[in-house]
Structure 1
Amino acid sequence: MSSPPPPPMAETEAECEARDWAEMPSDALAAVFAKLDATELLTGAGLVCRAWCRLAATDPTLWRCVDMSHQGDFLEAEEAEAMARAAVDRSAGTMEAFWSDTFVTDDLLRYISHRASSLKSLQLSLCHNVSNEGFAEAISGFPQLEELEVTFCSLYGNVCETVGKACPQLKCFRLNERLSILQSEFAAYEGMDDDTEALGIASTMPGLQDLQLIGNNLTNDGLVAILDHCPHLESLDIRQCYNIQMDDALRSKCARIRNLKLPHDPISDFKYRAYIVSSVANSGSDFEVDMCDDLLDVVTEDDDAEFDDLDDFDDAGSDVGMFDDEYDM
């Protein structure tokens, strides 16, 4: 009986050092790159060698979904915006999702709008440098948009009507408002109820399936209008909407909603809950901010992940100039 073949010999240290990673097959390398986010590609893997840089810069499939959420915690605003523009350019018109926060401006939104008309998902949070006017101009460039999230931004008034008219294919809409949450904690004052946004949704978003309005000032009338004019609605989140009074008639109308979250339901699963100002129990008009308010209370895949130090690369630093050639207009 023949003996089994000997096990393969482990690579020696010299053999490992001699391996030329630049010769890694492009399809295998692309599969690895697809696991990285935009910032990791722009400041890390894409700068290892010429071959890797070439693939990261020329393969638009790597830039179909650009998630730059929470990068404002690590980068200067100008640097983050430069990276976002570079990612848009590299997508070559194929970008389908852009998710970001804090550093987004009117100019950046317009830049994306002009170069990514195929966008299907847009998520913005804590973007206080985006105006109603800039947002309205940009949103008109996303006719294929199916998902839109605007959380704790500075948008108000007729924004919902603007969105509905510009994005006829919208199926998921999240408009969460921190200011309204703060106002709602006070005793009811005249003028705090406002159905402008609810009526805008009802009149322009008939295909809506998923709606989140945490902290909105809509009333029963606004909610009824949404329920009557959005027949495909399956998920509705109106937590912290304290102008809503859930009487029997309204509960009956909501009965068809598969996933329903009501004004006083817990907010514990909301990833931006640390930014919600809540009242102290039995304290009247006294308020406290969540103990984690100074941190974005969001669970990530790796809570210990560290941002790559840009100074590790000879050709790159924390200067936005490293991306200037990519997004010069």
Structure 2
Amino acid sequence: MPSWLELPTDLTKNIFQRLDTVDIVISVRNVCRLWWNICKDPLMWRTIRMGNIQIIHMKLFTFCCLEKIFRCAINKSCGHVEDIDVELIVTNDVLEYMAYRASHLRRLRLYCCDDISDRRLYEFVKKFSLLEELDISFSFKQYQDFIEVIGQCCPLLKSLNLERLMFLYFKSYDEVFAIAKWLPGLRHLKLSRIVVGNVGLLAILDGCPLLESLDIRQCHRIYLSESLEKRCHEQIKDFQLPTSLVDDDSYYADDYDGDDGLTYKNPTITYCGDEWKSKGSSTVKLRWLSLKSTKF
């Protein structure tokens, strides 16, 4: 069999970049002098992947060790890292460390990093102004303020995946309204365990006219009329709905009114044509056409 050492250097780098960062740091680079030198190249660390931590690594490493491995990879990139995919281990301190050393970041995935506070998340995401793809999953956070921050600070963002790891029964469409208002340039959007509803879906269709794909298979409160479903498929190339459109929970029973695709309501908001109204409150929502200048 031919020796691995005889492979062209570029091909060896290509293979290494497909491996998990933990394996590269603790194993691959220690195999021989050639591989050690290859792993010294900052461009080798443009992608940092530390996924499936809870399955693969937790029996071998403590959180402290995994955090040190992550910081080591960030350092070796020398600011060239463009893609970070990490689970569990990112805290406020780690996020700060990353923010000052990854100014060229274009893709970021944070999964189940619930030790990050809202304030620090808002503060440091401002430093990732080149972001094009963002994928974040938290258990309990409300995302509307975060969406406003990335809408103001990440003008190149084209792909967004927002996931709440646990479904919380918020009777609010604030998050989808924020997406429609602050992220008009989105091409790809995936929402999981986020309250969308028909009012939210209409807001997204109006506020994000460039959308090519919309995945709301893990969302609730969706009762599509024939006309609304037709518009979704005409406007969006790849449109994916929940398997069951009608939720069994009677908690949602007051969200639908009529079958004409025009009127949908919950206890706080009613959408009729192009006008939003607040129910049981002195606050009157402005017309949807002025959404971009109005914060809900």
TM-score (norm 2): 0.73
Instruction: Give the conservation status (yes or no) of the 8 Å contact 2:108–2:134.
Output: yes
Q: CA offset at residue 252 of structure 1?
A: 3.5
- Give the AA of the match of 1:257: I
Equivalent of residue 43 in structure 1, options 26, 44, 52: 26
CA distance in 2, matches of 1:89, 1:130: 21
Q: CA deviation at 1:32?
A: 4.3
| 1:1-80 to 2 correspondences below 5 Å | 26-27=9-10, 29-56=12-39, 58-73=40-55, 74=57, 75-80=61-66
Asked if 2 retains the 8 angstrom alpha-carbon contact of 1:130 and 1:153, the reply is no
Name the SS for the 2:194 alignment partner: coil
Greater relative CO (CA pairs within 8 A, separation 6+): 1
Moved over 4 A (4+): 23-29, 282-285
- Which one of 105, 123, 130 corresponds to residue 91 of structure 2? 105
Q: Give the distance between the partners of 1:114 and 1:210, measured in 2 at CA.
A: 28
Q: Deviations over 1:66-108 (max 9, x none)?
A: 1111124313211111111111111111111000111111221
Deviation at 1:234, TM superposition (A): 1.0
How far residue 113 of structure 1 moved from its aligned partner, in angstroms, is 1.3
Q: Which residue of 1 aligns with 2:179?
A: 201
**1:177-326 alignment, distance < 5 Å:** 177-180=164-167, 183=169, 192-255=170-233, 256-264=235-243
Q: What are the ranges of 5 or more consecutive residues in structure 2 without an aligned counterpart?
A: 252-296
Distance (Å, rounded) in 2 between the aligned partners of 1:168 and 1:89:
27
What's the offset of the Cα at 1:175?
Answer: 0.5
TM-aligned CA distance change 1:229 to 1:35, over 3 Å: closer
Once the two structures are superposed, the pairs formed by residues 25-174 of structure 1 within 5 Å of their partners are 26-27=9-10, 29-56=12-39, 58-73=40-55, 74=57, 75-156=61-142, 157-174=144-161
Provide Cα deviations, 1:238-262, integer angstroms capped at 9, x if missing partner.
Answer: 1232222212342233122111111
Q: Cα deviations across residues 275-301 of structure 1 (Å, max 9, x unaligned)?
A: xxxx9xx8999xxxxxxxxxxxxxxxx
3-state SS of paired residue (1:118) = coil
Q: Pick closer, same or farther for the CA change 1:221–1:76 going to 2, 3 Å.
A: same
Structure 1 residue 225: deviation in Å?
A: 1.5
The code of the aligned residue for 1:48 comes to V
1:186 corresponds to: none
Instruction: Answer yes or no: is the 8 Å Cα contact 2:88–2:112 preserved in 1.
Output: yes
- Read off the aligned partner of 1:234 and give its amino acid letter: E
Q: Could you tell me which amino acid in structure 2 is paired with residue 160 of structure 1?
A: I
TM-score (structure 1 length as normaliser): 0.67
Q: Secondary structure at the match of 2:180?
A: helix
Which whole-Å CA distance do the structure 2 matches of 1:284 and 1:206 have between them?
33
Contact map agreement 1:105 1:127 (CA 8 A) in 2: yes
Counterpart AA for 1:172: S
Q: Which amino acid aligns with 2:237?
A: R
Q: Deviations over 1:18-70 (max 9, x none)?
A: x9x6x9875564344334331111000112244432331x2012111111111
CA-to-partner distance for each residue in 1:307-329, whole Å, 9 max, x for gaps?
xxxxxxxxxxxxxxxxxxxxxxx
Deviation, structure 1 residue 146: 0.6
In structure 2, what is the Cα distance between the partners aligned to 1:232 and 1:92?
35
Structure whose residues are more often strand by fraction? 2
Describe the shift of the 1:40–1:168 C-alpha distance in structure 2 as closer, same or farther (beyond 3 A): same
CA distance in 1: counterparts of 2:14 and 2:180, whole angstroms = 42
C-alpha spacing 1:52/1:159, structure 2 compared with 1 (3 Å): same
For 1:127 and 1:263, locate their aligned partners in 2 and report how far apart those are by CA, in whole Å: 26
Number of aligned residue pairs: give it. Answer: 244
- Say if 1:72 and 1:80, in contact at 8 Å, map to a contact too: no
Structure 1 residue 153: Cα displacement:
4.0
- State how far apart, in whole Å, the 1-side matches of 2:180 and 2:206 are: 8
* Superposition RMSD in Å: 2.8
Matched AA of 1:124: L
